[in-house]
Chain A
Amino acid sequence: AQSVSQHNHHVILSEAASLELGCNYSYGGTVNLFWYVQYPGQHLQLLLKYFSGDPLVKGIKGFEAEFIKSKFSFNLRKPSVQWSDTAEYFCAVSGYSSASKIIFGSGTRLSIRP
């Protein structure tokens, strides 16, 4: 079955701490991978995406993610978080063809202590 697992439901960090949010997927075939962010009271925005090429993807606001095909993982990282990074983060996967739909993980809530 196609699925996305985000094992951390709620992560609490202090400002300047390093961040890594886990994402594992189950999906047959070639995949596209995404991280979306939802700031409090706002809609989902794309943080970064992987379609092909370099497995280390850099996104907005200093975030990056690494696609490790052998581990079916696409973990999100940031070396030093800020209070403004407080949000909910969703990992998502889709197939490579135009007929594929995006499947979202259950989300990880990130709280940053000032």
Chain B
Amino acid sequence: NAGVTQTPKFRVLKTGQSMTLLCAQDMNHEYMYWYRQDPGMGLRLIHYSVGEGTTAKGEVPDGYNVSRLKKQNFLLGLESAAPSQTSVYFCASSYSTGPEQYFGPGTRLTVT
């Protein structure tokens, strides 16, 4: 099992550009999450999904969109990147929102 994988690992964008981050899990988890990690702020939930075809807003959803067309994949999109979106993005998955979440290796995004 690969667990939770994320692509790409690194990306540099110019302000206003768009991109999509891909998260894939092979554990048949129902729930998937996107977090951003910023120094001194821990992990903040951007969006999450409780099943294929469903998405919901987390703590910091503005400027991001998500889609869960397949159970194993959860995409995070930035339509018009801003420097404030420079961060490390982590995807996670779980059987439910209560027990532990399994994290991917992260994507380091820099917006100039």
Contacts and interface: CB of A to CB of B under 8 A. Distances in A.
Interface of A: 4, 6, 9, 32, 34, 36, 42-46, 49, 51, 90, 94-102, 104-107
Contact of B43 (A42, A46, A99, A104): A104
B104 A32 contact: no
Contact of B103 (A44, A106, A107): A44
Interface in B54-111: 58, 90, 92, 96-101, 103-106
A48 B101 CA distance: 12
A32 B99 contact: yes
Contacts of A42: 105
B34 to A, nearest CB: 12
B106 A43 contact: yes
A45 B97 contact: no
Interface string B7-50: 00000000000000000000000000101000011111100100
